[in-house]
Amino acid sequence: MAVPSGIRPNMVALPGKPIGNVPNYDAAMATRPKTASTSPRAPRLWSPSELIAILDETYGRALQQASAAPVFELVLTLLSQHTSDRNSGQAMHRLIERFPTWDAVLAAPVREIEDAIRPGGLAPTKSKRLQELLAEVRARRPDWDLRFLADLPLDEAKAWLTSLPGVGPKTAACVLLFALERPALPVDTHVER
């Protein structure tokens, strides 16, 4: 396929979009090792460190900020299932606005919880799961303090969390990583694929 005149390899044309430069293309191409193939169709295999360096240079690296609130993270992750971050954020905001404590959520009628978390979708299912989850956490840790998970070996912390009703490996990893700064990687279907 011939490249139209005036188009350099570091320029991209997308349907309905003007042609523009791809950020950092020239720098990446200058540092990439030469391949034995002379075929223009030979795929470039970027190493993870090369990709991370290019993304960091282009977008910067976001600082990780641990919430230091494992139960909050547990509930937020449950509410985030099968919905967008925006919707789960609204559901969480409404939940904590209506119920000032986890004990209040646990004591509330399911219909009230369902109403509070409705923006997150699947409210009838999630409201019941949320109460089951909180009941088990309360039974095991009456003070609601899950920071002890930071001191357990990682496998034990994951096992403790996944023994809770409705908590799988991804939810456990979210709590460990985002609330306790543990080296756990939340992997969902899309990431795994």
Indicate which residue of 126, 128, 158, 170 is catalytic. Answer: 170
**Per-residue pLDDT band at 185 (split at 50, 70, 90):** confident
Integer Cα distance of 176 and 166 in angstroms: 16
Integer Cα distance of 188 and 191 in angstroms: 5
Active site residue 170: yes
Instruction: Identify the bridge partners of residue 21 per DSSP, sorted by sequence position.
Output: 11
**Per-residue pLDDT band at 34 (split at 50, 70, 90):** low
Q: What is the DSSP letter of 14?
A: -
Assigned token pair, 109: 């009628």
Q: What is the pLDDT of residue 29?
A: 53
Cβ within 8 Å of residue 158, ≥6 positions away: 169, 172, 173, 176, 184
Quick one: how far is CA 143 from the chain centroid? 27
Q: What is the pLDDT of residue 4?
A: 45
Residues 58-91 have pLDDT tens digits of: 888 777 667 779 999 999 999 999 999 999 999 9
Q: What is the pLDDT of residue 123?
A: 97
Phi first, then psi, for residue 151 (nearest 5°) are: -100, -10
Instruction: Identify the bridge partners of residue 12 per DSSP, sorted by sequence position.
Output: 20
Pair 24, 57: CB distance under 8 Å: yes
Q: Is the pLDDT of residue 173 over 60?
A: yes
Strands (E), 51-190: none
Helix (H) or strand (E) holding 169: helix 169-174
- Predicted TM-score (pTM) of this structure: 0.67
Residues 99-136 have pLDDT tens digits of: 999 999 999 999 999 999 999 999 999 999 999 999 99
Assigned token pair, 5: 């005149």
Q: What is the pLDDT of residue 84?
A: 93
User: C-alpha distances in angstroms, 91 versus 73, 77, 129, 148?
Assistant: 13, 11, 14, 27
Scored b (16 or more CB within 10 A) or e, 44-69 reads eeeeeeeeebbeeeeeeeeeeeeeeb
Q: Looking up tokens 């992997």, which residue turns up?
A: 187
Q: What is the pLDDT of residue 8?
A: 45
More confident call, 17 vs 157: 157
